Amino acid sequence: MTMTALGEPCVLLKLGEVVLKGRNREVFEMRLRANIKSALKDHRVDIRQRHGVIALFLPAGTAVEEAEVIAARVADVPGLVLVHLAWRVPKDPETITKAAVELVKDTPEVARGARFAVRSRRRDKRFPLRSNELDRLVGGAINDTYGLPVDLSRPELTVNIEIDKDEAFLFTGGRPGQGGLPVGSSGRALALLSGGIDSPVAAYRMMRRGLRVDFLHFSGIPYTTSESIYKAYALVRNLDRFQGKSRLWVVPFGKAQQSIRNSGQDRLAVIAQRRLMLKTAEEVAHRIHAEALVTGDSLGQVSSQTLTNITAQDHAVDLPVLRPLIGLDKTEIIAEARRIGTLEISELPDEDCCTLLAPRSAETRAKIEDLKQIERRLDAEDLAAQLADSIRPYKLDA
């Protein structure tokens, strides 16, 4: 592909749910553009809003490889459903046709004689040709040049042409975006982040629903090593590509766990611990102005996640506790962790704080009054405040 024949590379971004918004759609679009700008802070781009499309114009002479890097980076920004590496050409039929023929020249589909189709869309209705007329013009030229058969039902290669106000865009294929809503459009939440598989996926899912997510990790220090902290840090670094400016706090939780163990209520220890974690997280959330807590619970996956025990945990706090994985099974959660790139980190060995409390048999139907008795002995409200005072921030490298 030569730059002169194809015009200039650019990136087209297709919006998802945002286009379904009503009077406040502009607010969501402004948030999305800000997130795109932040994600591409290391690149020179001109962000322009169109009808349901955002175009990223690159400096003259930008190499295709640089455009591909930009497309890959922006595909991680929630709120976009498709990202296309496109070519920007003057919007006259002859130039568009020549560029389309050049565009498919070196594709593997042409090499194997694949079936193809041309799909045109006119955002500028003043363009002299209707969409079907432009399809026939460009499709005929491609057929004459390469002998490819036309298949409008199930093409193996699709040449897309979009006619805009000042130019035309051509592209084949694209990469899927994250979908959902722009991060920050739904508020702020605090995610309880373990070193396991579930909680990073839960945090990611809430980012896709527009929440800016901060992270709170409970470490078993001083009774465990710092391995779980390193792991939590690595997970947050990975998830940060979806929202940017992520914040991680770590709570030294080992001594509090030891106090729960010494309470003598072995079967209730796990639920008592979970309630104390939520109380501590709620205290931290108030301080950072988060409006909800996020956990990776999946109904029935372990003894602490029975419906009765989840109800007992929710009773400990006033803030809403969001559980985006509640209806997923482990196979589904693992598949998503693999897709977003957290699975490999989560599977690294570490000393998780939960290993400090591992009764032979845990209570599956905890009674709230029994848990309150434990908390009265521990003075849980003051303990949660003390734990919140002890949090340590871990700043992500720029």
- 243 marked as binding residue: no
Q: Answer yes or no: are the C-beta atoms of 70 and 57 closer than 8 Å.
A: no
349 DSSP assignment? -
User: CB atoms < 10 A from the CB of 125, how many?
Assistant: 7
Q: Is the peptide bond before 222 cis (omega within 30 degrees of 0)?
A: yes
- 192 marked as binding residue: yes
For 228, residues 6+ apart whose C-beta sits below 8 A from its C-beta are 194, 195, 217, 219, 220, 350, 351, 352, 353
327 DSSP assignment? T
- 49 marked as binding residue: no
User: Structure tokens of 79?
Assistant: 């709120």
Q: Answer yes or no: are the C-beta atoms of 299 and 327 closer than 8 Å.
A: yes
149 DSSP assignment? P
For 276, residues 6+ apart whose C-beta sits below 8 A from its C-beta are 256, 260, 316, 375, 378, 380, 383, 384, 387
Q: Answer yes or no: are the C-beta atoms of 220 and 353 closer than 8 Å.
A: yes
- 265 marked as binding residue: no
- 241 marked as binding residue: no
- 296 marked as binding residue: yes
| Among 30, 26, 43, residue whose Cα is nearest residue 11 | 43
| Among 18, 70, 55, 23, residue whose Cα is nearest residue 182 | 18
Q: Answer yes or no: are the C-beta atoms of 306 and 205 closer than 8 Å.
A: no
User: CB atoms < 10 A from the CB of 139, how many?
Assistant: 21
Q: Answer yes or no: are the C-beta atoms of 118 and 149 closer than 8 Å.
A: no
- 286 marked as binding residue: no
Q: Is 60 exposed, middle or buried (0-12, 13-18, 19+ CB in 10 A)?
A: exposed
Distance between first and last Cα of the chain: 36
* Residue numbers belonging to the annotated binding site for ATP: 192-193, 217-218, 274, 296, 305
* Binding-site residues from annotation: 192-193, 217-218, 274, 296, 305
